[in-house]
A and B are shown apart, each in its own frame.
Chain A
Amino acid sequence: MLNRISTYFYQRPKLVLAIFLTPPLLYMVVVYLGSLFSLLINSFFAIDDFTGMVIREFTLKTYLQIFTPANREIFMRTATMAFLVTIVDALIAFPLAYYIAKFASPKLKTWLLIAVTIPLWSSYLVRVYAWKLILAKEGILSWFINLFHLTGALDWLLSLPGIGGSSLSLSPIGMFIVFVYIWLPYMIIPIQTALERVPGSLLEASSDLGAKPSQTFRTVILPLAFPGVVAGSIFTFSLTLGDFIVPLTLGNSKFFIGQAVYSYQGTGGNIPLAAAMTMGPVVIMVVYLLIARRLGAFDAL
């Protein structure tokens, strides 16, 4: 009996494919794409200014609201932060990724990779919380800064308009540090993967042909690591763009996109505006992903 069923399916690979593919596709299309579609629809609704109820009619009114100076500023602020975090993460990630890929012994490599991926998967909230402790005014970092008599420098930094605040744990500088910290593993792994694929013979060829180590690094290793950097930047950029936990925890009244969306849909009760606001990161990320795919970043994931 089982054999006959088996033969039946064996002769109909298309049917088997359909059976395999239908549940995951159905789930992702209905639940995920369906929700994204509903998000899109909602962004074309608006709320009634008097009753606060959502009017389910097509309008571009809500989209106009995201171009108010206040909201434009939110977009700029968030994109700048995401950009800076991505750059710094790439710089910090590179040495470790390079070391793991090209210098570590196989055994050490296994352990180093585990050491990098544990923070990647472990609780993001807890990792943010750790910095709340570290950056607190009375906390460990201040203690060290005091130890080195740098309190004056810190106060000066915190007094800067735009990036300062009452303490590191309540300032854009603090947010920046935390963003760099929490997304760092997402940058290390793709760069390491890309470097791993650079064949050793290529490096030998480069030095045989007379290139100095620094030249080999610049003209062979860096270009080949670039798809990895792009792949990593997908995560660091996208995650910073949509995060609201870090701004809510360490930020001030100057909103970031995620925070704005969170408060519009929550206390504001304005789901259409929240939806329209979210379309910004969606458009940015879809374009980003398409470019990244061209640059070969998906192979480095």
Chain B
Amino acid sequence: MPSSSSSTRPRATWGLTLAALGTLLFLHVPMWIIFLYTLTPDETTYTFPLPGFTTKWFGVALQRADLWRALTLSFQVASIATVAALILGTLAAAAVYRSNFFGRESISFLLVLPIALPGIVTGIALRTAIGGLDIPFSFWTIVIGHATFCVVVVYNNVLARFRRTSATMIEASMDLGANSFQTFRYVVLPNIATALLAGGMLAFALSFDEVIVTTFTAGQQTTLPIWIFSQLSRPRDRPVTNVVATIVILITFLPIFFAQKISADASDTEGETK
């Protein structure tokens, strides 16, 4: 909102500014500490201050075949879950946006359930279904689980964009003689493209990190989060875990950052995220 010029905006009190800054630091500093610990030569404890500095753990981590396998699996799962979420989420958003039908309100409710209910519910529910139908655990059982909670991310992003797109543009396109496919290709798609990109990147990040549902749908397979989880409860390779944690932060940082930047630019000051 450009109208709210800085002269009319009230000044925050010192107390509020400090409290806000404190919360911000609380959110971010812990992640920096992991970066610091990738450099520790200490293999068995988390001693602070670090007893020295070394960069050898990056090399050690790169040599680990189990890590590469886990990374590849997570990457594949996240890619396919994202594609599924993009298709299903966009279709649902388009349906909800263009028509008013019985039960329309319930669609949002149904889609948000997988992230509103505790992850363990989705996990154990899928687990009982997989067990009840005697489906063997596979790559696809992981993907199917992830897609359930990725759909809502794309849906929300695309629906928010549709609501900001003026319907007259679509009418104008049709009036000027474009058919539905042309209108979609030249008017609708360019309009929602960045929303698709943002939703897709968030869905990817969500799936890439997911551990709770995955625990119940992966069987013996190891995704990267499952690898990290096994290290959390029984740390064996502390230095390598530090490196992996850093890599995960870096891999997910860029898509999240750009997705948020896109949403922020599109919605201006509207605080739209999920």
Would you call B30 and A131 a contact (CB within 8 A)?
yes
Question: Residue A196 at the B interface, CB < 8 A?
Answer: yes
Q: Interface size class for chain A?
A: 35 or more
Question: Residue B46 at the A interface, CB < 8 A?
Answer: yes
Question: Residue A274 at the B interface, CB < 8 A?
Answer: yes
Given the interface pairs A125-B211, A189-B274, the reply to whether A96 lies near B24 with Cβ below 8 Å is yes
Question: Residue A282 at the B interface, CB < 8 A?
Answer: yes
Question: Residue B248 at the A interface, CB < 8 A?
Answer: yes
Given the interface pairs A17-B95, A38-B125, the reply to whether A126 lies near B249 with Cβ below 8 Å is yes
User: 1/0 per position for B1-43, CB-CB distance to A under 8 A?
Assistant: 1101010111110001101100110111011011001000000
- Which chain B residues border A181 with CB–CB below 8 Å? 26-27, 30
Question: Residue B117 at the A interface, CB < 8 A?
Answer: yes
Inter-chain CA distance A17–B102, complex, in Å, is 12
- Which chain B residues border A125 with CB–CB below 8 Å? 209, 211, 225, 228-229, 232, 248
Would you call A138 and B273 a contact (CB within 8 A)?
no
Would you call B260 and A114 a contact (CB within 8 A)?
yes
Interface residues of B in 180-211 (CB under 8 A from A): 180-181, 202, 205-206, 208-209, 211
A106's nearest neighbour on chain B, judged by CB, is B269
Give the residue of B16, B212, B215, B265 whose beta carbon is less than 8 angstroms from that of A95.
B16
Inter-chain CA distance A87–B141, complex, in Å, is 37
A4's nearest neighbour on chain B, judged by CB, is B179
User: 1/0 per position for B109-144, CB-CB distance to A under 8 A?
Assistant: 111111011111110111111011000000000001
- Which chain A residues border B2 with CB–CB below 8 Å? 106
Question: Residue A47 at the B interface, CB < 8 A?
Answer: no
Inter-chain CA distance A116–B229, complex, in Å, is 24
A93's nearest neighbour on chain B, judged by CB, is B23
Give the residue of B46, B108, B179, B271 whose beta carbon is less than 8 angstroms from that of A136.
B46
Inter-chain CA distance A197–B269, complex, in Å, is 11
Interface residues of A in 222-252 (CB under 8 A from B): 234-235, 238-239, 241-245, 248-249
- Which chain A residues border B95 with CB–CB below 8 Å? 17, 20-21, 24
- Which chain B residues border A115 with CB–CB below 8 Å? 24, 27-28
Interface residues of B in 209-258 (CB under 8 A from A): 209, 211-212, 215-216, 225, 228-229, 231-233, 235, 241-242, 245, 248-249, 252-253, 256-257
- Which chain B residues border A184 with CB–CB below 8 Å? 23, 26-27
Give the residue of A21, A39, A298 whose beta carbon is less than 8 angstroms from that of B121.
A39
Would you call B99 and A17 a contact (CB within 8 A)?
yes
Inter-chain CA distance A122–B37, complex, in Å, is 19
Question: Residue B52 at the A interface, CB < 8 A?
Answer: no
Would you call B270 and A196 a contact (CB within 8 A)?
yes
Give the residue of B4, B17, B88 whose beta carbon is less than 8 angstroms from that of A27.
B88
- Which chain B residues border A244 with CB–CB below 8 Å? 120, 212
Would you call A113 and B179 a contact (CB within 8 A)?
no
Inter-chain CA distance A131–B19, complex, in Å, is 21
Give the residue of B108, B113, B245 whose beta carbon is less than 8 angstroms from that of A129.
B245
Inter-chain CA distance A298–B274, complex, in Å, is 11
B4's nearest neighbour on chain A, judged by CB, is A200
Question: Residue B67 at the A interface, CB < 8 A?
Answer: no
Given the interface pairs A103-B10, A136-B45, the reply to whether A92 lies near B37 with Cβ below 8 Å is no
Give the residue of A3, A36, A96, A114 whose beta carbon is less than 8 angstroms from that of B264.
A114
Question: Residue B59 at the A interface, CB < 8 A?
Answer: no
Would you call B20 and A95 a contact (CB within 8 A)?
yes
A258's nearest neighbour on chain B, judged by CB, is B120
B97's nearest neighbour on chain A, judged by CB, is A20
Would you call A121 and B252 a contact (CB within 8 A)?
yes
B216's nearest neighbour on chain A, judged by CB, is A265
- Which chain B residues border A39 with CB–CB below 8 Å? 121, 124-125, 128-129
Given the interface pairs A10-B180, A99-B17, the reply to whether A133 lies near B37 with Cβ below 8 Å is yes
Inter-chain CA distance A32–B122, complex, in Å, is 8
The 3 closest A-B pairs by CB, nearest first: A242-B118, A6-B179, A95-B19
Q: List 25 A-B contacts (CB under 8 A).
A: A23-B88, A23-B91, A24-B89, A24-B95, A24-B155, A32-B125, A92-B26, A103-B12, A113-B271, A118-B260, A119-B27, A119-B28, A122-B205, A130-B30, A132-B232, A132-B235, A184-B26, A241-B118, A243-B212, A245-B232, A258-B212, A274-B124, A278-B125, A285-B118, A301-B274
Residues of A at the B interface (CB closer than 8 Å) are 2-3, 5-7, 9-10, 13, 16-17, 20-21, 23-25, 27-29, 31-36, 38-39, 41-42, 92-93, 95-96, 98-103, 105-106, 109-110, 112-134, 136, 138-140, 142-143, 181, 184-185, 188-189, 192-193, 196, 200, 234-235, 238-239, 241-245, 248-249, 257-258, 261-262, 265, 271, 274-275, 278, 281-282, 285, 289, 298, 301
